Every structure is written in C-alpha cells, then in structure tokens.
Amino acid sequence: SQQGEEDPQALSIQEGENATMNCSYKTSINNLQWYRQNSGRGLVHLILIRSNEREKHSGRLRVTLDTSKKSSSLLITASRAADTASYFCATDRGSGNTPLVFGKGTRLSVIA
Amino acid sequence: DADVTQTPRNRITKTGKRIMLECSQTKGHDRMYWYRQDPGLGLQLIYYSFDVKDINKGEISDGYSVSRQAQAKFSLSLESAIPNQTALYFCATSDPRPGGEQFFGPGTRLTVL
C-alpha cells in the first residue's frame, strides 16, 4: 500500500501564484523527500527533510513536516510555467534498509 | 554524461516475447532499483538490490526477474511479456545513507501488443 499520499491530485494555477502540495504518510519516518517529474521523464530530487526538522527552504521551495500529524507540505513560491510537473513525496518508513515509498503525486500546471 | 542510463528508451514488443531492460550507473552506488509507472500513478517498486549479491522483491515482482551483473549494472527482464506490463520503467540508484537521495534514469517506455 502507498505510504505517502499527495493532495491534491492535480493543481492548476497562474504564473506568479504560490502552489502548495500536501503529503500524508502512515508510519514513522526518519526523513521525507520531495521529487519532481517532468512529463515522461525520470524523477529528480528536490529536497529532504529529517524527522527532527520542522521546516526547510531551498530557493523558491519551502517544505514543512509535522510528525505528529504524519504530514508534509511543499510550497513553491512565485511559480513559473517551467514548474509545471508532477511532484511526489517519498518516505523511508523509519528504516535506512528499506527502499523509499513514493506517493501517487500531484500534477501541477502553471499557466503563463 | 548522465549518471544513470537506460536502454532501450522505447520498445514495442508482442505478447509472449522475452524482453530485457538494461540500466547502468556511474554514481558508484551499491543500491539500485527498478520501478514501474502507469499513467497517472506513482512509482511501484519491482525489485531492488542493495549490493551485488543482494536481490529483493518489491511490491509487484510477479512476471519480472532481475540480474545484478556488477555494481554499476542492474537489468530487468520480462520473461513472457503481457499487455498489462505496458508502462514506463525507471531504474534508480542511491547511496546507503539513511534517506539517501535517489538518482533516476530517463526511463524506458515499453508497449506490449
């Protein structure tokens, strides 16, 4: 079963607006990662947040983690048409010896 | 050059044929993975290998087999392809640190007629 579930499944916004995507997971984790996938291409790592961190920034990306609610959010500020992609969260299920489990993703469309 | 390469990039085959998808990585990582992605869905893990002598089944290993020929090479085989194996297949690699970032190949689009 999926460990991480993203919400919403799809999101359409205007260029310049902020985009927020959420991820919920089921078991305890050591860390949570966000990946981006341009249409039909391989996933690219965006950012990792550890279980003892609450917020992390990387350029226009801001990730939060609430371990009590087993949820994370990815905020993309001042979105651009080039941000159009699918975004996936991935969790480690609390062990470094198990593969990451990916959610189904949020499809973001940024309209110029 | 890309860190993770996959061949072929596209393949059309017929039901019952044996197909091999190949993956090579230059990251020097021990861990390698094969995923399948169906339209609108996330990644499903087929097999993974944490070192050359280690092979593990993932969520959907039925109908697939793998071979870890070397640290840098991990191939996926469909012994007798069927139409519902039509999908996008990704290979990935990571280092063994907990939560190590995964590096993905460009994918192989497989169509089984």
Q: For residue range A7-20, what is the model confidence (pLDDT) as tens digits?
A: 899 999 999 999 99
Does residue B104 sit at the A interface (CB-CB below 8 Å)? yes
Predicted local distance difference test score (pLDDT) of residue A96: 67
What percent of chain B clears pLDDT 90, i.e. is strictly above it? 88
Q: What is the mean pLDDT of residues A74-80?
A: 98
Q: What is the mean pLDDT of residues A4-32?
A: 92
Q: Which residues of B touch A2 (CB under 8 A)?
A: 42
Q: Which residues of A touch B39 (CB under 8 A)?
A: none
Q: What is the mean pLDDT of residues A53-74?
A: 97
Start-to-end CA span in chain B (Å): 33
A92: nearest CB among B90, B99, B103: B99
CB atoms B96 and A96 under 8 Å: yes
CA–CA separation, B23 and A90 (whole Å): 22
Judge whether B32 and B46 are in contact, CB under 8 Å.
no
CB atoms B48 and A99 under 8 Å: yes
Q: How far is CA A89 from CA A6, A34, B51, B54, B110, in A?
A: 7, 4, 25, 26, 25
Q: What is the mean pLDDT of residues A104-109?
A: 94
Q: Exposed, middle or buried, A62 (CB in 10 Å: 0-12/13-18/19+)?
A: middle
Best of B5, B37, B41, B43 to mutate (most A CBs within 10 Å, chain A): B43
B62 pLDDT higher than 50: yes
